[in-house]
Amino acid sequence: MSYEYGKPIALVRAGLEGYKKLYGQSVLEMDSMLAKVPPHPNQIDLTHGDTTAFLPPDSAFLDFAKAVERNTEAYSAYRGSSTVRNALAPRLTKLLGVEVDPVTEVIITPGTQGALYSALSSLVGPGTIVAFPATEYFMNERIVSYLGGESIRIPTSISKDGYIEIEESNLLAASSQGASVFVFSNPNNPTGGIYSRKMCEKLALWAKNSSIAVIADQLYCRLIFDGRDFTNFCALPGMKDQTVTLLGPSKTESMSGFRVGLAVAPLKLINSMESVLSMTSLRTAGYAQHALIHWLDKDEEWLAERIELHQEIRDYLVSGLLKIPGVEVTIPAGSSYVFPDFSKVKSVNQNNYDDDFVLTKDLKLAGVLVSPGYQSGFNGRGHFRINFSQHFDSIKLAVDRIRTLVQN
């Protein structure tokens, strides 16, 4: 007998074969084909923020270095160093507007992705039905499928100024189909839309009445534009006990290279999440946890400047995209994402950009690397996502290249 590798069924499910109906290929196949398109010699990568354009705060590395020097926390509790959790708890309390207990309600994770995976694994098993807004972070659906759950997409609309709206009837349709978990990013990945207080209250009432656990992915909750109000979901009446809030310094603070994130959740869920984390990677890197020691600490001025700089880039980018005939785009209310709709756009070589796989491939050939719409779900059809946390010049060049590709 010779050895032949057979993939476990969970991993096959994670390939999202269902996308073959619409795209002719599974998500995994499309991802790997896009990866094989040779990169442009001067490629602009807009799939993630550029940490050389917006630097992490100096304290992150200095605190990391101190932890290496002291060298007493190479091994922390699985849920994270108590020193770090104690330092963060009062600031998390202030940020979220609810009391956060450092011992029982916080877990430090390998990136916010680590928090998402642990949270979903603590809530989803075979047959669990998980509801998302129409466009959401692509990993949600992949992980839910991997865990044997089913995904339902709830229709949404988004106003020109970036507020996401969900009809009550659509929420009730999801719960009557058996949804027991709701995951939403606020600000939304990929559109940059946010949920108003009124909308959050509507969601909370629904979650309460239907006993739905909520994962509120608030990774971008500090990068909110034009002075808009932001509503922390877990601070709404009754919601703290059934909400996992995902946070982290990888975006607004550009601390992506340290790979730390965290979740605030009720004790029972924290215990389950810790059990998952102990299996996937034991704990978040001990030294890197200390890079969080000054996170959220009296940085109002620093934050205001960072918001302003991102806002300028956003405005340039959105108006540049809107000049292209046929393009539709809403103004992001937060985050560093825009998610333009190119479904009515045709390329110079007459490719139909209703197919965002083709669109993303053409953009890569033209030197602009973006995230294809299918990664945000079926409703991402004809769209792509740009992360505009970049050098301003990169965004200018990218807009030029996109325009050249599709100009009639």
Per-residue binding string, its own copies, 93-112, x by CB under 8 A, is: ----------------xxx-
Q: Which of 16, 30, 44, 67 binds its own copies (CB under 8 A)?
A: 67
* Strand duo 213-217 + 243-247: pairing: parallel
**Binding span for its own copies by CB under 8 A among 7-15, 193-201, 319-327, 336-344:** 7-15
Q: Is 335 in the site for its own copies (CB under 8 A)?
A: no
Distant-in-sequence contacts of 30-37, Cβ < 8 A, 24+ apart: 30/357, 30/372, 30/374, 31/375, 33/357, 33/361, 34/357, 34/360, 34/361, 34/364, 34/372, 37/361, 37/364, 37/365
What minimum distance in Å lies between the beta carbon of 375 and its own copies? 12
What minimum distance in Å lies between the beta carbon of 81 and its own copies? 11
Q: Is 319 in the site for its own copies (CB under 8 A)?
A: no
- Cβ proximity to its own copies: between 2 and 349 the closer is 2
Q: Which residue shows structure tokens 């990013």? A: 185
Backbone angles phi, psi at 323, to 5 degrees: -75, -15
The number of CA neighbours under 13 Å toward the Cβ of 151 is 28
Q: Which of 102, 107, 122, 130 binds its own copies (CB under 8 A)?
A: 122
Residues 6+ apart with CB under 8 A from 77: 283
Q: Is 254 in the site for its own copies (CB under 8 A)?
A: yes
**Binding span for its own copies by CB under 8 A among 45-53, 150-158, 316-324, 356-364:** 45-53
| SS3 readout for 32-91 | HHHHHCCCCCCCEECCCCCCCCCCCCHHHHHHHHHHHHHCCCCCCCCCCCHHHHHHHHHH
Q: Is 259 in the site for its own copies (CB under 8 A)?
A: yes
Q: Is 279 in the site for its own copies (CB under 8 A)?
A: yes
User: Whole-angstrom Cα distance, residue 131 to residue 128?
Assistant: 10
Q: Is 61 in the site for its own copies (CB under 8 A)?
A: yes
User: Whole-angstrom Cα distance, residue 145 to residue 149?
Assistant: 5
DSSP lists the bridge partners of residue 334 as: 224
- Cβ proximity to its own copies: between 45 and 354 the closer is 45
User: Whole-angstrom Cα distance, residue 102 to residue 82?
Assistant: 7
What is residue 104's DSSP assignment?
Answer: T
What minimum distance in Å lies between the beta carbon of 255 and its own copies? 8
Per-residue binding string, its own copies, 15-34, x by CB under 8 A, is: x------------x------
User: Whole-angstrom Cα distance, residue 3 to residue 58?
Assistant: 51
Q: Which of 164, 224, 262, 276 binds its own copies (CB under 8 A)?
A: 276
Rule CB under 8 A: which of 232-251 touch its own copies?
241-242
Q: Is 213 in the site for its own copies (CB under 8 A)?
A: yes
Contacts with its own copies by CB under 8 A: the residue count is: 76
Q: Is 348 in the site for its own copies (CB under 8 A)?
A: no
**Binding span for its own copies by CB under 8 A among 17-25, 202-210, 306-314, 397-405:** 202-210
Q: Which of 79, 85, 108, 121 binds its own copies (CB under 8 A)?
A: 121
Q: Is 139 in the site for its own copies (CB under 8 A)?
A: yes
Cα 6 to Cα 9, 12, 144, 394: the distances in Å are 9, 10, 21, 43
Work out the angle between the directed axes of helices 356-365 and 27-36 (0-180°, nearest 10): 20
3-state class (DSSP) for residue 258: helix
**Binding span for its own copies by CB under 8 A among 60-68, 99-107, 219-227, 314-322:** 60-68
Q: Which of 86, 177, 209, 407 binds its own copies (CB under 8 A)?
A: 209
Q: Which of 74, 172, 322, 348 binds its own copies (CB under 8 A)?
A: 74
Q: Retrieve residue 46's tokens.
A: 């807009």
Q: Which of 16, 44, 57, 73 binds its own copies (CB under 8 A)?
A: 73
Q: Retrieve residue 324's tokens.
A: 């292209």
